[in-house]
Every structure is written in structure tokens, then in C-alpha cells.
Structure 1
């Protein structure tokens, strides 16, 4: 039997924005939702240049710490989507959402996946918020990150919400998790 050659690896980009976006993708919650805010940022490469063909996906609990998922230990949150998707073709991403509630044993956070050219697999991180700084020390995931790198996981306040830049590599590289 002849041995077949291995198929070469392909990166997850660069044309994600062509087929993986949809009109309400950035809207975890509809416009006009009380307490809604924007989470905006850029995806930067190792040289600090903006990546304009990346895709950012978010997954989060509702304000009560519940997910719309059958495995949620508190029971699914009916009507809560919790998922957002934004491309970076305009130089950054933008997700319209509400601050998540605390999941049992964890500080409020949003899970973030980034797909971009040059990556063989998505990278996964979390964004925490300054509003919940009193809960950060008790979060087992954030506590596992070296103290001098934790700030790469904490959003900063912005005029219309929060800012969270994702640095794929290089100086101030965002902490990514092996999932």
C-alpha cells in the first residue's frame, strides 16, 4: 500500500470576514438594552500593527452568571444568546453587550477567541473588567496568570464602554489559554 503525503497545514485566515459575519453578530444584546455597553479593541501582530482580517468571537454569561446552555448548572438562561462575533476589517472589533455576572467560583469575564492569518488554531483568552476588581484575586484562572501579565486580561474604561486590545505576540502579548 502506498503511503500518502501529509496535507500541509493551513492558517485560519485571512478571509474570515467574507463568510463568517452576519448583521447582528456584534450584538450580544439588542440596541437599547438597559445597561448595554460596547467592548471594542484591536487585534495586533508581533510588530504592533493592526490586523484587519481577523475575527473575534465572544461567549459570556448573562448579568446573573447564567448561560443559554443545557449544561449550565443553574439551568439555561432562556433567550440569552451570550455569543458575539465581529471582524476587524475596519481596524478593530466591536461587541455590544452587557457586563456578565459571576459564574460560580469565578469573577465576571467574557471568553474571547481570535482567528487570524498566520495562526494554525484560534487563540483563546478572557477579558475581565475593572468594575469587578474586588473579585479578581479569587478567580482561579486569573490567579494562575503571573502577576506581571494579569493586566493583559483586564479591559480599560472607554467613552462608550470598554477597550480590550488583543496582542497576538510581542511586547505586552495577551495571555492565551490552552483549551
Structure 2
């Protein structure tokens, strides 16, 4: 497993996270590689990995990579921070460090190899999941369209969750492996049969 640490020096839990990762490395007996990157200093390396892992946030975080699967753990998921003193010139204060729970949970998700699945309902002119195909060289005036949910899709997939299309017209029941159903901006009403499938979910 490879863990890439994207932390700015002023992140209040930096030392806690570094100590925790050292413990993980020791316990794993060389099976965990850790790379620390300060995005403010190592800009080119950070950009390279941001592109690889489709990072769409500037928050300090870890990216865990295991056998081609990856999952992000944000700093905000690893600690509760009190910032009430900042108005008086004080720095943020960590009130609760939850890094071990957050990182261990991410490791389990990756090593088990199972992705949670969200069913994305289509069939009522909802925004598509996928980006439109690139413009044809014969028609360069056509611009490649960007799906309005592309950023949301990236966030979801960074959590090791699969967003899978679901057309309720084509199924007798919502597949059991789907734990959540997402309905975004339908422009047509759902049929009685579709509503029944959703109620039975």
C-alpha cells in the first residue's frame, strides 16, 4: 500500500498524522510506503499526483493507493478543530484526533476490494454521468460538453465508491448491491411503476 500525504506545514494535525503513519509502517513491516508532499513547495509533484488521483480539493489530506484502487482521507475527517480563538490571534486547537479510525477504515475499504455502489437514476433527462465524447475533427466547432455532476462524481469515486447508472425501466427491482440511490434534476415525472420500485428499496 502507498500513502501520499498532501499536508501544508500549518495543518494543526501534521505531527499527529506523521507519528501515526510511522506506527503503521512499523506494524506493516515494510508493506506501506509513505510519501510526504507539501503542495506549496513541491508544486509539480503535487500536480502530477493530483491529476493521477483526480484530486479536486485543496484541503490537506492523504491518498491511500492499493492495487489500483485509491481512497482519500481529508484532514477534516481526522480531527475536530476549535478555531474560535483565531479571531483573537490564536491558532486553531485540535480538540479530538480521530486519524487512526479514519485511516484504518480507509485501509479496510481498500484491502477488502469491495466498492460501495450508488445507483444514479437515468431516464428522465437527468444530467449524464459520463462526459460527452470529444468533438469530431470534422466538426471542430463542437465543444466537448462537461457533465454538471462531473466534480461530484470525482468526489464520490475518490471515496472508493462506484457511481453506476440505473434505468428503472429496465429492472424488476433495484439491485441489492446498490446501497444508495441518487436522483439529480429529473425533467420528467416518474411512472407509477418506478415510484413503486423506489418505495420498495
Give the structure-2-normalised TM-score: 0.21
Greater relative contact order, per chain length (Cα 8 Å cut-off, separation 6+): 1
Higher helix share: 2
> Which structure's CA Rg is the greater one?
2
